[in-house]
Amino acid sequence: MLEQFSEESLWHGGPLLELTMIFEPDCDLNMIEDFFRTSEKIQLYKSDSFNSRDRFLFEFAAEKFIGLEFGHYLSTHQVEQAYFILCFRPRQLNKLLDADFDFVSDSELNLDISQKISLSLLTKALIRFLPMVQRLAKLRYATIALEVDGCANLRTKLPDGLYFNKIFANELNLIGQKSSHYLTLVASNFEQLDELMAKMPN
């Protein structure tokens, strides 16, 4: 099953779909990385044909995998804040959706029900991480969006919470508070997300 990830081109290209988590600058980002590296849902991917260092497979549903990369950094631009980012390549996302979307120019995706369910499964799996991360460190913002959309963060002065790219929010039946040109606030509490996920296709 994992042979499908052996094509190196799947691990290149953008824009990335990202779960971006924003913390106060004193957050121990190495601790957050350890949490994800040791998750039973994430395994290191090893390839004999190309350099697969720091590439992972994320089991987002039973025996369903997608390639994952992650990283973290401390930003000092205007205001200090700690970032941790999980990201997915567009070729992998298109493979998951059995589609060929151009995530740069497509203003809407018009997914069919099968594609909505696949995207919903991936998104729910990411959302389930948030309460666990919140117990490790004070999580201020989480944004599920394309890297070109930007993210909610301490500089934006938006309310703390979970934000979605508006395109994905629409596809997943999530009606939230419009917060910027690209982002929609869908939840303001990281501990109570079951109601949010119940609205999504399944």
DSSP 91-110: HHHHHHHTS---TTT-S---
| pLDDT band, very low/low/confident/very high, at 123 (cuts 50, 70, 90) | very high
Whether the ω angle into residue 15 lies within 30 degrees of 0, i.e. cis, is yes
CA distances from 95 to 99, 133, 183 (A): 7, 28, 25
Identity of the residue numbered 105: S
Report the relative pairing of strands 81-88 and 64-75 from DSSP bridges: antiparallel
What's residue 106's pLDDT? 62
Identify the residue with better confidence: 119 or 47. Answer: 119
Q: What is the pTM (predicted TM-score) of this model?
A: 0.93
| pLDDT band, very low/low/confident/very high, at 108 (cuts 50, 70, 90) | confident
Give the mean pLDDT of 60-77: 93
